[in-house]
Amino acid sequence: MQAQSKFTDRRDLDYENPGYIPIAIRQPKRNPLRLVWLAIRSRLIALRRLYYVKVWRMDIHPSAWFSLRVEFDRTHPSGIHIGAESYVAFGAVLLTHDMTRGIYADTRVGTRCFIGAHSILMPGVTVGDGSIVGAGSVVTRDVASGTIVAGNPARVVKQGIKTYRFGCLWDWETLSKSGVPRDP
Ligand SMILES: CC(C)(COP(=O)(O)OP(=O)(O)OC[C@H]1O[C@@H](n2cnc3c(N)ncnc32)[C@H](O)[C@@H]1OP(=O)(O)O)[C@@H](O)C(=O)NCCC(=O)NCCS
Per-residue pLDDT of the chain in tens (184 residues, 90 and over written 9): 343 444 434 444 555 555 555 555 555 667 888 889 989 999 999 999 999 999 999 999 999 999 999 999 999 999 999 999 999 999 999 999 999 999 999 999 999 999 999 999 999 999 999 999 999 999 999 999 999 999 999 999 999 999 999 999 876 666 666 655 554 4
Q: pTM to 2 decimals? A: 0.85
Expressed in angstroms, the distance from the first to the final Cα of the chain is 38
CB 122 within 8 A of CB 129: no
Residue in 127, 147, 157, 165 to alter for ligand 1 test, most ligand atoms within 8 A of Cβ: 157
Q: Whose CA is nearest to atom 43 of ligand 1?
A: 116
How far is Cα 155 from Cα 157, in angstroms, rounded to an integer? 6
**Cα pseudo-dihedral 50, 133, 89, 60, rounded to 10:** 0
What is the 115 CA–ligand 1 centroid distance (Å)?
Answer: 12
Segments making up each domain of the chain, as ranges: 10-178
What is 10-178's CATH number? 2.160.10.10
Atom of ligand 1 lying closest to residue 169 CA: 3
Own/partner pairs, 123-127, CB within 8 angstroms, 24+ separation: 123/73, 123/76, 123/79, 123/95, 123/96, 123/97, 123/98, 124/96
Structure confidence by residue, pLDDT tens digits, 103-148? 999 999 999 999 999 999 999 999 999 999 999 999 999 999 999 9
Helices of type H across the chain:
32-54, 172-177
Give the Å distances, CA to CA, from 183 to 8, 12, 38, 71, 153. 20, 23, 9, 22, 29
